[in-house]
Amino acid sequence: MILPPSYLSLPVKFRREVRPEVYPKPEIAIYNDELAKQLGVDLRDANILSGAVIQPGTTPLALGYAGHQFGNYTVLGDGRAVLLGEIESPDGKRWDIQLKGSGRTPFSRRGDGRATLGPMLREYIMSEALAALGIPTTRSLAVLTTGESVFRFSQEPGAILVRVAASHLRIGTFEYATDDELGTLADFTIQRHYPELLAQDDKYYRFLRQVIARQAKLVAQWMSIGFIHGVMNTDNVALSGETIDFGPCAFMNRYDPSTTYSSIDTQGRYAFGNQPSIMHWNLARFAETLLPLLADATEVAIKRAEEALQTFPLAFNAELERLMSQKLGGDLSSLEELYRWMYETGADYTNTFADLSLAEPSSSDDRFRAWHAKWKESVSQEIKNHHVIPRNRLVEEALVAAAQESNLTPLHELVSVLRRPYERPHIKYRSADDTADYRTFCGT
Ligand code: AMP
Ligand code: MG
């Protein structure tokens, strides 16, 4: 059952009632049975999932928020999404159900409120891959086609993504609040994601620290698997600590910290290696929004915010070291040299680590063999590495087959392999892309 969104208790500025567009012929293209089971819901109904039929008692909402996009503050809001309501999973957790591509809203500005099939399926693939790797992420319950065609680069099938998220509260939601609204918004967010803080002294400072800790951990997880979010604007940073809104995201193949896939990221602001410092910057914007709650005197509040922000690099490094030592089998003293070798030879990031579990060194390169011999001596614990990431060419193939030929077989096959990342699949799913000039698009 879909429950009314708890956002109804927020000031009206943060949520506008909107009816999702009723599309000509909504049809389910893919439905995530596994996720539906985990959530204890059965929503396999195109009329419900497209928002054509609204369950009694629920109130669809477009949420208001702002954000720093590529460094510049802008007022945004859900321009092509509505929150259908919430569900409660068997473990008592609350989840937002949001339709992306559900038509125009009061926040649409000049956009058409539409989404197309390729980008929505990309989000489906990527979120399933992240979830299987144990990385906090919003999930995709389904993708539907709308029966409408939408013009982007060409005419493309219109689509809706049914997204499940711990919430849609973002750094940008706080950037949208006035000082008067801040306490209400902070209490609401704490209640939803950090309820244990409610009864504690100094809950807002602790809240800031917790958000920083979760994001530090999240970015360390991305770095450990070569994930490039692609559009780390502050509106795309969820306060729950989940990966969200990763439109142009892709996984790095050859190891190079400057890797940037997004076609709109011309300066490489969100390049692989910049992600930790960008998240630190984003969290500074978040801390600024909280200043009025941190202390009465502004200088004191600033000092406390700075103190909290200083914990980011420490938490990030600690988590990254923990993850990398799982990949190398304990000791990290050989890691720098491996990074350098990968960088200089263009070796594949995922496969270099995955192949460490083979009996023999995976490369005949002398330098690698010398590194391998030394590294092997240092191994003191079991090595844990995944063998599969969504390779860019396979993602593209699956999206083209789905959008241009209505053939969903490659997509289903890819997702089923991505769901078992620690198994060693057929070489087709493991071999690296040779597309150094690969580009991704936001799909807006
Ligand atoms: P995103 O890149 O998906 O994080 O979106 C950034 C902002 O642009 C959000 O406010 C979106 O709601 C808005 N937006 C993106 N695409 C559209 C569209 N086709 N129509 C209206 N608003 C859009
Ligand atoms: Mg966004």
**What's the average model confidence in pLDDT over 82-88?**
97
- Closest to 120 in 3D by CA, of 162, 85, 170, 148: 162
- Closest ligand 1 atom, CA of 76? 10
Does an H or E element contain 427, and which?
helix 427-430
Residue 185 has pLDDT above 60, yes or no: yes
Classify residue 366 by burial, with Cβ atoms within 10 Å: 0-12, 13-18, 19+.
exposed
Q: Say how many C-beta atoms besides its own lie within 10 A of residue 108's C-beta.
A: 17
Q: Whose CA is nearest to atom 12 of ligand 1?
A: 79
Catalytic residue among 78, 96, 235, 245: 235
Cα 77 to ligand 1 centroid, rounded to whole Å:
8
Q: Give the model's pLDDT for residue 432.
A: 95
Structure tokens at 101: 């591509």
SS3 240: coil
Strands 72-75 and 81-88: unpaired
- Which amino acid is present at 204? Y
Residue-range domain boundaries for the chain: 6-165, 330-378
Cα 78 to ligand 1 centroid, rounded to whole Å:
7
Structure tokens at 57: 């008692």
Q: Give the model's pLDDT for residue 335.
A: 98
**237 DSSP β-pair partners:** 243
**164 DSSP β-pair partners:** 97, 139
Q: How far apart are CA 403 and CA 156, in angstroms?
A: 7
Query: Nearest 5 degrees, angle CA 8-CA 54-CA 95?
Result: 50
* Secondary structure tally for the chain: helices H, strands E: 15, 12
Q: Whose CA is nearest to atom 16 of ligand 1?
A: 444
Q: Say how many C-beta atoms besides its own lie within 10 A of residue 380's C-beta.
A: 10
Q: How far apart are CA 266 and CA 70, in angstroms?
A: 10
Per-residue confidence band for 132, with pLDDT thresholds at 50, 70 and 90: very high
Residue 444 has pLDDT above 70, yes or no: no
**What's the average model confidence in pLDDT over 201-211?**
98
Q: How far apart are CA 53 and CA 55, in angstroms?
A: 6
DSSP 261-330: -BTT-TT-TT-GGGHHHHHHHHHHHHHHHHHHHH-SSHHHHHHHHHHHHTHHHHHHHHHHHHHHHHHHTB
DSSP 67-108: EEETTEEEE---SSEEEEEEEE-TTS-EEEEEEET----TT-
| Residues surrounding ion ligand 2 at CB below 5 Å | 235-236, 245
Cα 343 to ligand 2 centroid, rounded to whole Å:
32
Residue 418 has pLDDT above 60, yes or no: yes
Torsion angle of alpha carbons 275, 238, 242, 47, nearest 10°?
-130
Q: How far apart are CA 189 and CA 203, in angstroms?
A: 12
Q: Give the model's pLDDT for residue 441.
A: 82
Q: Give the model's pLDDT for residue 57.
A: 87
Residue to mutate (ligand 1; options 73, 80, 152, 232; most atoms within 8 A of CB)? 80
Could you report the per-residue pLDDT of 272-312, keeping only the tens digit for each?
A: 999 999 999 999 999 999 999 999 999 999 999 999 999 99
Could you report the per-residue pLDDT of 28-37, keeping only the tens digit for each?
A: 999 999 999 9
Cα 304 to ligand 2 centroid, rounded to whole Å:
29
The DSSP letter of residue 441 is -
Could you report the per-residue pLDDT of 324-379, keeping only the tens digit for each?
A: 999 999 999 999 999 999 999 999 999 999 999 999 999 999 999 999 999 999 99
Q: Whose CA is nearest to atom 2 of ligand 1?
A: 442
Per-residue confidence band for 443, with pLDDT thresholds at 50, 70 and 90: low
**What's the average model confidence in pLDDT over 60-75?**
98
Task: Show the ligand 1 pocket: residues with CB < 6 angstroms.
Answer: 76-80, 108, 111-114, 231, 236, 245, 247, 442, 444
Does an H or E element contain 342, and which?
helix 335-345
**What's the average model confidence in pLDDT over 104-120?**
96
Mean pLDDT over each residue of the chain, to the nearest integer: 96
- Closest to 138 in 3D by CA, of 108, 114, 107, 170: 170
- Closest to 290 in 3D by CA, of 164, 364, 413, 206: 206
Could you report the per-residue pLDDT of 308-338, keeping only the tens digit for each?
A: 999 999 999 999 999 999 999 999 999 999 9
- Closest ligand 1 atom, CA of 245? 4
Ligand that lies nearest to the alpha carbon of residue 442, given by its number in the listed order:
1
Cα 144 to ligand 1 centroid, rounded to whole Å:
18
pTM tops 0.85, yes or no? yes
Does the annotation count 78 as an active-site position? no
Residue 153 has pLDDT above 90, yes or no: no
Quick one: how far is CA 394 from the chain centroid?
Answer: 20
Q: How far apart are CA 286 and CA 272, in angstroms?
A: 22
